[in-house]
Structure 1
Amino acid sequence: MSVVLRRGWSRMRTIKQNNKLLSNCAFQRAMVGVAFFLAMVALMLANTFPKKYDLKVGDIVQEDIVAHKDAIDTVATRKLQVAAANSVPKKYTLDQNVTKEVKGKVAEIFTGVRDVRARDMGESDKIKMLKAVISNGFSDETYSVMLNLSDSELRELETVTKAVIETVMNDGIKEESIDRAKALIIEEFKKVSLPEPVKSAGEDIAFSVIRPNMIFDEEATEREQKAAMETVAPVKITKGQVLIEKGKPVTQEQLELLKELGLLSQDNSSYFKMAFGIAVLVLILEFILAVEIYLFHRDVFENVPYLGLLAIVIITTLFISTVFKTISNFLVPVSAGSMLISILINPHIAVTASFVMSIAVGVLLGNDFASALVALVGGLMGTYFTKKVMQRGDLTKAGGLVGLANFLIIFGFGFLNNNSLLDIARQSFWGIANGFLSSILTIGLLPFLENSFGITTSVRLLELSNPNQPLLRRLLLEAPGTYHHSIIVGNLAEAAAEAVGGDALLARVGASYHDIGKLKRPYFFIENQLTSDNPHDKLNPTLSALIITSHVKDGLEIARQYKLPPVIQDFIAQHHGTSLLTYFYKKALDNHEEKKIGESSFRYDGPKPQTKEAAIVMLADSAEAAVRSMTKPTPGKIEGLIRQIIKEKLADGQLDESNLTLKDLDKIAAAFSKVLTGIFHTRIEYPEKLKELERKG
């Protein structure tokens, strides 16, 4: 039993640890990053891997095999380079030392002859000795001639032989031209006026010692061959070029070319190389995007749903680009992703995302630099023109401007590449179509992404500010005083938000809905009471306070019922903060109820305003109600009352969490005074006669 319990506790502890890990923000961010990385790599690999073929020499191909990218035909280029290298003649160097050595050999032969001639022995013995001393394989006749010549004749033969050898060798003798050199020796001896037997002996001596004196210069030859190979222009293969025609047999050279291009199924190394290269590229792009968000947009970095949204928009944009690239490379709608990121998340992040998406698109389009640049320009233009979108028509206008930018850059590229006017016009048309396609995609996807991630864009805020919205219509018909009050508070909040650099549109829309909780019991609020009867006069102060404060909770219930965005619900919850209902609290004190109920029962539940806009709506709400109750308002009285209200809220700590500065509060007071003075100014009193005419009229 105890073992079972221990296992159960261990399993529960593991589940809790897993749940804790899954709820950890850092872990969630890491999971978003990993998912984004894998999705990017998979998408790019699926669209960049070429089709592979299982072929061997002699196979008949069933379809045209075309190049999937621009490349160099290394096989054909190598053949041309080898031919150029072979055409370079070998380089030789004339070695004069060899000539000297050969002439030295001749001198040794004649020295040996003189030594033997000086011996006292018969001719036959001298010939035998001479053969032993000079083992050059001369004929017996040559030996006999050299022995029988006089000293002067022997010297002349030696001199002539050396001269002939020097003449022939000075022209250079290569290994393969020995026979030619011997022929030249014969020719040279023919020019000499010596008896034929003596010439023959000289030729015999020269033939025995002659050898090549042209030495092969391997280094110089290789240098010349390399220079010749470098002059060969590489044979280029363009994307789409037919490598092997359908129905033709595959040759060895074509097979080698397919292998070079990584198109053979037997070669998996190209897969790994391409996958590794894409993985490294995606990793770098994701790192750039992550650093940008971490360093400059920490609020987005801490918001995991925003990071997920960013990843989804980028992946979706690239996926859509793979569909439209089949029509034209200039139709890929990168600007759609940039506009969505700009509107939903942040324009500055959209700029970096445009850079990331453009590089990825360039790879998807086969490393097409021109298309990547057009995509980048379109993305940047889309970001710039959607920085402040006030209505959906602005997105159409942004799409038109993106199309214009695309048109201009494609037009410029066309002339730069000396394309025909027809090609330039056709490609420029796709650039313009790209802009409108991007705006259509943005308009279509924006509502889905807004609802899915709970993001309220300026477009959604404008829709909510429409008086024909069902909830605002209800407020107008069921609580007209509250509706009018909300309109004025909205005008005040908008003016003040503009003054302090806040979101004026958000402040106005938030003010329009801040009091919708009063729809539940409209006549318990003074602005909706058409008669002098006040139901609170008949109620206990505590109950009155409970009814008044409950309009916040009621407002949140109505907001959820009508699916108002969370950012608008924040205005409903925070527009009173934890303020004290002073009137009813003092009334309770007058009735001696303070012993039964403390001050906390007469305060709103909060929270206090968390943003500038929510704090502005709180101040505008109080200022409008206070000024409306003044009997004879003047600009000075209005401004004094407004500053008094702001001072009280500040002293009560209601503005502590709103990031408003004292300088901001001064600007808010000035903005409120200007608007309220224009609304509640003192009217001119008509003279009695004009009043009488007015009554008659």
Structure 2
Amino acid sequence: MRVNILGREFLLEIKEKKKKNNESQSYIKNRFMFRFAILAITFMIFGIIIEMSRLNINYNVGSIAKSDIVAYKNVSYFVDILDDSIEEKIVKTTQPEFDKIKDVNRETVILLNKFLRDIRNMNLSDDATLEKYIKDNKYTFTNADIREIAARTENVEYSVNLNEIMSEIYSTGIYKMENLPKIIRRKDIQADNLDMKVLQNFIKPNLVINKEATKKKIADNMMSLRDKEIKIYKGDIIVKKGEIIDSDAFLKLEKLNLVRNEDKFKKAVGLVTTFSLLLILIYYLLKKNVRKIVESNAFYPTLITIIVVNMFYVLFLNNQFLIYLLPFAMLPIISTILGNKTYAIIVTFSNMVMLSQEESWFFVTIAVSLVAIYKADDLVGRSDIIKLSFFLGIFQALLAFSYGMVNQSNLGLIMLMIVFSVFSGILTGMMSLAVLPYFEDYFDILTTMKLLELSDFSHTLLKQLLIKAPGTFHHSIMVGALAEGAAESIGANATFARIASYYHDIGKMKRPEFFVENQRDGINPHNKIKPSLSALILTSHTKDGYIMGKESKLPKEILDVILQHHGTTLTQYFYYKALENGEKVVESNFRYSGPKPKTKESGIILLADTVEAATRTLENKSKEGIENFIRYLVKSKIEDKQLSDSDLTLGELEKVIQSFINTLQGVYHERIKYPKMDERTKKHK
């Protein structure tokens, strides 16, 4: 289907888009199922432990020993769990033993360096020569790839970096070429698509399977599972008081005839049925309402919190007083801050169903959790968590008082419940405040609180930006204002757009005088250097900013914006100036390295950056002049395909344009021309 937009014809390939979406949906579904399975297993483990504690059956797997269980006689037995299926599984899953092939690393480095020398000495403008060279050497490069590699080799660090990457890959060892991407990801090696092409053309496997050692390893693994003798001596402690009875201990108790098996089948059927129905309900609630959050980095911190809270519950389970100290509100607070309210409600409710021993206390915990979710959704600072914890402690104490009165508990127990409830709230706040920064940093989650902390102008990077590049600092503030309004107009993350804008140009601090907003007294250092060098300086500020941001531990989302806020835009002024000067010009050398914006917020920041900088030079700052200029700038970015990966629709772009117009109109509105004091005096005379 062809569509004419802004005077330009676009061809929409619906078939390809559908295929891509199907592949994406398949990947997301698999990830969701895997994480739900982990959550289900976690619930199952704690559900079994807690449910078994309610039954009057001695010594079950997962139950807690109320006293030391001691062997009253000597017993020996053999355990042989090896069968055909397990044997086959061991053969398939045993990691092979490898031997390293000598000299592969050295030979590869020699070939790579020869290749780099060849292309440096080659006539890169002759396509026929390049094609012959590629064909003769059986490379998978294109002519454009060869030219790009040749351009990169002008920087000595490029070849050094390639050699280091190869050395690191060979030190790990590679058995099959299809394992190369996995090794790159596992070793956290920074390599773009062209680097990967180079590696794939030169890397060769340096590992070979040692069949004898592998066979021995498989045999050893099998032997460890065959006819293993277990001896129990009279007086041995099978399970200590307070320990959980695991499957090994339970088998020992069976051999000692200490297990009663009556009435287990009915209980098991009932528990499995109930648990299955709950899991089906939880599955559909999560899938329909918060699937994206389950698939995000917020899932594992929530899982850890569930495990911690449930472990506390298991520890306090048989104590009628300490159970009120349980910091169960940690889960709703953490899941709300890292996810959202809906996610927190579903996860918290599901966990409480597993935990609560009776209906009355279940409603108390749910009430406290709902309040925690509602209040946590409005938190803007970490100190607010402490305030929330005191509030929850008091609220829980009031509910505990009501709970005690309804159940006609004695006054002493009610007072103890009230005191413990207050301390439960305080403990909840302390633990939440303690673990939240670790969750944010380790799982790379950008919460609203962390984001707002970065908006403080006393942040080291922003202070340095103000001092070293004041013009860039004020430009960034204006970009933030434009981006925030535009993001809000289309329902994107406005707070993130504003704060990411503050940091998008921090790379300019490295050479501030080369950027026009920081130049003073008409001195422009670009007048003394070649256009190609000027373009290199300008385009390098994205990578410089990325490095500075990474050193200062900025969140990944903001680092991405720093790299993406110019996309692969051409530095037109210096490109055409180089052509005028008769320089040998390669267009790619005058473009930013990208990548193009990958999110709506990043795309908005690219447009806001362009609009703010360009509008400063506009002479006609009337509403019509501003609007026409903004539309021209946006159209040029669309035509240059800079927004092709940002998911911004044409309808959203129109809203973004209108937001830019409204914001800039407020900045450049017409002002009343006041008469000078002496003119006013003369007029009154």
Partner of 2:613: 625
2 CA distance for matches of 1:332 and 1:265? 33
2:559 to 560, 563, 569: 569
Partner of 1:390: 380
**2:255 is the alignment partner of 1:267:** no
Amino acid at match of 1:344: L
Q: Is the CA contact 2:579–2:585 (under 8 Å) kept in the aligned structure 1?
A: no
1:544 to 534, 550, 561: 534
**2:663 is the alignment partner of 1:675:** yes
The offset of 1:572, in angstroms, is 0.5
1 CA distance for matches of 2:486 and 2:290? 26
TM-score (norm 2): 0.60
Q: Percent identity?
A: 36
Partner of 1:315: 307
The offset of 1:619, in angstroms, is 1.4
Partner of 2:332: 338
Q: Structure 1: which 5+ runs fail to align?
A: 1-23, 56-62, 66-263
Partner of 1:357: 351
Q: Is the CA contact 1:53–1:265 (under 8 Å) kept in the aligned structure 2?
A: no
**1:387–1:552 distance in 2 versus 1, CA, 3 Å:** same
The offset of 1:346, in angstroms, is 3.3
Q: Is the CA contact 1:576–1:618 (under 8 Å) kept in the aligned structure 2?
A: yes
RMSD between aligned alpha carbons?
Answer: 3.6
Q: Is the CA contact 2:32–2:291 (under 8 Å) kept in the aligned structure 1?
A: no
Q: Structure 2: which 5+ runs fail to align?
A: 1-26, 59-65, 69-256
The offset of 1:399, in angstroms, is 3.5
Q: Is the CA contact 1:29–1:307 (under 8 Å) kept in the aligned structure 2?
A: no
2 CA distance for matches of 1:477 and 1:277? 69
2 CA distance for matches of 1:54 and 1:380? 35
Partner of 2:646: 658
**1:286–1:538 distance in 2 versus 1, CA, 3 Å:** farther
1 CA distance for matches of 2:570 and 2:553? 29
Q: Is the CA contact 1:330–1:371 (under 8 Å) kept in the aligned structure 2?
A: no
2 CA distance for matches of 1:520 and 1:692? 50
Pair member with larger Rg = 1
Q: Tell me, what secondary structure is at the counterpart of 1:380?
A: helix
Partner of 1:528: 518
TM-score (norm 1): 0.59
Alignment of 1:263-662 (within 5 A): 265-268=258-261, 284-303=277-296, 305-323=297-315, 327-362=321-356, 367-403=357-393, 405-407=395-397, 409-418=399-408, 427-593=417-583, 596-631=584-619, 633-662=621-650
Amino acid at match of 1:601: N
The offset of 1:557, in angstroms, is 1.1
Q: How many residues align?
A: 458
Q: Tell me, what secondary structure is at the counterpart of 2:553?
A: coil
The offset of 1:561, in angstroms, is 1.0
**1:327–1:512 distance in 2 versus 1, CA, 3 Å:** farther
Q: Tell me, what secondary structure is at the counterpart of 2:329?
A: helix
The offset of 1:310, in angstroms, is 3.0
2 CA distance for matches of 1:403 and 1:675? 45
The offset of 1:566, in angstroms, is 0.5
Per-residue displacement from partner, 1:404-424 (whole Å, max 9, x unpaired)?
653554454445445567765
The offset of 1:524, in angstroms, is 1.0
2 CA distance for matches of 1:26 and 1:306? 17
Q: Tell me, what secondary structure is at the counterpart of 2:592?
A: coil
Partner of 1:182: none
2 CA distance for matches of 1:603 and 1:339? 46
Q: Tell me, what secondary structure is at the counterpart of 2:453?
A: helix
Partner of 2:249: none
**1:283–1:515 distance in 2 versus 1, CA, 3 Å:** farther
Q: Tell me, what secondary structure is at the counterpart of 2:331?
A: helix
Q: Is the CA contact 2:396–2:422 (under 8 Å) kept in the aligned structure 1?
A: yes
Alignment of 1:56-95 (within 5 A): none
Q: Tell me, what secondary structure is at the counterpart of 1:334?
A: coil
The offset of 1:487, in angstroms, is 1.3
More helix by share: 1
2 CA distance for matches of 1:552 and 1:468? 22
2 CA distance for matches of 1:420 and 1:667? 64
2 CA distance for matches of 1:419 and 1:543? 82
Structure 1 range deviating more: 491-500 or 402-411: 402-411
**1:346–1:269 distance in 2 versus 1, CA, 3 Å:** farther
Q: Is the CA contact 1:573–1:606 (under 8 Å) kept in the aligned structure 2?
A: yes
1 CA distance for matches of 2:438 and 2:369? 21
Q: Tell me, what secondary structure is at the counterpart of 1:533?
A: coil
Amino acid at match of 2:332: S
**1:584–1:397 distance in 2 versus 1, CA, 3 Å:** same
The offset of 1:458, in angstroms, is 0.7
Q: Is the CA contact 1:44–1:278 (under 8 Å) kept in the aligned structure 2?
A: no
